[in-house]
Structures are given as structure tokens and as C-alpha cells.
């Protein structure tokens, strides 16, 4: 049975990645890791603007399936999270329930997290004798700040998304009744932006902190967006006070 489904909407501008193993709290098997990693290592088509990761059931993701871990060793969590964070276009996590251990890092790899305010991020690995992969803890420290990161990974206790939003770790924490509408509004806003501009800005954001001046590849992407058909269309639309129609070219 396939536990990860992929859908495309709005003429291909929106890609929806759904983790669908609710009876196991959306724990990730090695097969699911392979599918997810493949989906985020692919080159997105020109029409794509945004990907949303969501799940079914009451838990967003409980991380690695521990039975498989005992039998086969740790799957490549760091590689999956790197593929998500390095994906050329924005990725939004819709967190409707707890994100636990690897599930927390999966959400944190995304550009935006929109969460039920009652959901929790629970980096619980220390409580079962494990430690997160080095790059994931370092990324958490950059996102949350050193002190908040210490609380999350050294204590290993769950922290509400409402509190995480106050600390700007989570983009938005809203009542469960508003989660769908809030997430879709963000997706819609991103999908209406120019794909080449989104790519250039995402590349700028994920470039290394020591990259000064900007890498040549990033400079070329910025120039490509500026000189593109979409760039001309966007300026014309603003002057003509109408909505632009972007094509990714």
C-alpha cells in the first residue's frame, strides 16, 4: 500500500504531498523515506510555485517507524530534510497534530509551518537513548535560537505550536477550525507569485552564510527572473493595475 500520495492543483502551480499512514501515527517506513526524498530531489516543472506537506489522521508525523529502525537501522532522515530545505521552491507544512522526533524535523525543514495551536513539536529522541543527526540539530539552533533549541532537544518534552509561534519557530498557530483556511490562503498567496522569482529568492535564502559575494548561480537566477517574460508581465500588470499572469518563463 502506498502511504505517500502526490497531487497537483491549480494548473500545476501547487503540489500536495500527503503522508497517509494514520493507523501508525504516520510513522515513516524506509519506502516512505525513499518516496519523499525522490519527490524533493526532482526538478520542479516551470509551472510549479509551491509544495504543501500534510498528513491524514490526528498526528502529523511520529517520525521513523521504530520497528523498522530496530530491524534495519536508521533511515536517511538528514538527507530527506536536506532535500526538503534545499528544494528550489517554497514548501509549506500543514501541521494538524503532533510532530514527533523525525516528524518535528520534517516540519522544521519546510519554509513555512502552519499549525493547529494545540499541536506540539516533540523532539523526544534524547528520551529513548538517541540523538538527532548533527545537521538537523544545527538547523534547529539557527531557527529557534540556541537557548530554545537546548530546551527542545536536551529536555525532549513536547512544546505547543502556540508557544513555538511566539518564538517564530512556527509561522502561524491557529485554532483547528481555522487551520485549513489559513494554510490554503498561504498556499494561494505563494501560488500567485512568479515561479522564477520564487526560485531566485529561495536560492538566495539557502545560500551559505559565508557566500559573499553571492554565488554566480544565484546571481544568474536573479538576473533570469529580472529579464524574464514573467518579469515584464509583472511590471506591466502593476502599471495597468491588474493581476499578473505568470507562466514560469
Residue-wise pLDDT for 39-82, tens only, equals: 999 999 988 999 999 999 999 999 998 887 776 767 789 999 99
Q: What's the pLDDT tens digit per position in 99-113? A: 999 999 999 999 999
Q: What is the mean pLDDT of residues 114-119?
A: 98
Q: Name the CATH topology of 4-190.
A: 2-enoyl-CoA Hydratase; Chain A, domain 1 (3.90.226)
- Contact 219/18 with Cβ under 8 angstroms? no
pLDDT at res. 210: 57
Answering whether pTM is above 0.75, one says: yes
Sheet strands side by side (includes 98-100):
59-61, 98-100, 120-122, 159-160
DSSP assignment of 138-160? HHHHHHH-HHHHHIIIII---EE
Amino acid at each position: 500500500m502506498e502511504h505517500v500520495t502526490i497531487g497537483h492543483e491549480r494548473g500545476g502551480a501547487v503540489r500536495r504531498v500527503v503522508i497517509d499512514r494514520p493507523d501508525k501515527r504516520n510513522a515513516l517506513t524506509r519506502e516512505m523515506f525513499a518516496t519523499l526524498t525522490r519527490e524533493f530531489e526532482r526538478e520542479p516543472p516551470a509551472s510549479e510555485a509551491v509544495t504543501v506537506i500534510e498528513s491524514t489522521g490526528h498526528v502529523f508525523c511520529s517520525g521513523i517507524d521504530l520497528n523498522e529502525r530496530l530491524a534495519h537501522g536508521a533511515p536517511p532522515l538528514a538527507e530527506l530534510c536536506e532535500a526538503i530545505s534545499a528544494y528550489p521552491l517554497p514548501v509549506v507544512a500543514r501541521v494538524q497534530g503532533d510532530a514527533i522526533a523525525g516528524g518535528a524535523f520534517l516540519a522544521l525543514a519546510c519554509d513555512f509551518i502552519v499549525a493547529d495551536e494545540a499541536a506540539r513539536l516533540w523532539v523526544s529522541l534524547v528520551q529513548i537513548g538517541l540523538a538527532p543527526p548533527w545537521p538537523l540539530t544545527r538547523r534547529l539552533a539557527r531557527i529557534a535560537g540556541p537557548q530554545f533549541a537546548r530546551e527542545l532537544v536536551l529536555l525532549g518534552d513536547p512544546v505547543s505550536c502556540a508557544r513555538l509561534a511566539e518564538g517564530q519557530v512556527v509561522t502561524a498557530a491557529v485554532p483547528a477550525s481555522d487551520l485549513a483556511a489559513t494554510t490554503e490562503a498561504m498556499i494561494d498567496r505563494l501560488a500567485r507569485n512568479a515561479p522564477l522569482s520564487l526560485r531566485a529568492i529561495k536560492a538566495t535564502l539557502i545560500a551559505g552564510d559565508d557566500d559573499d559575494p553571492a554565488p554566480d548561480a544565484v546571481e544568474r537566477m536573479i538576473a533570469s527572473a529580472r529579464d524574464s517574460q514573467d518579469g515584464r508581465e509583472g511590471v506591466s500588470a502593476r502599471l495597468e493595475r491588474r493581476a499578473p499572469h505568470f507562466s514560469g518563463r
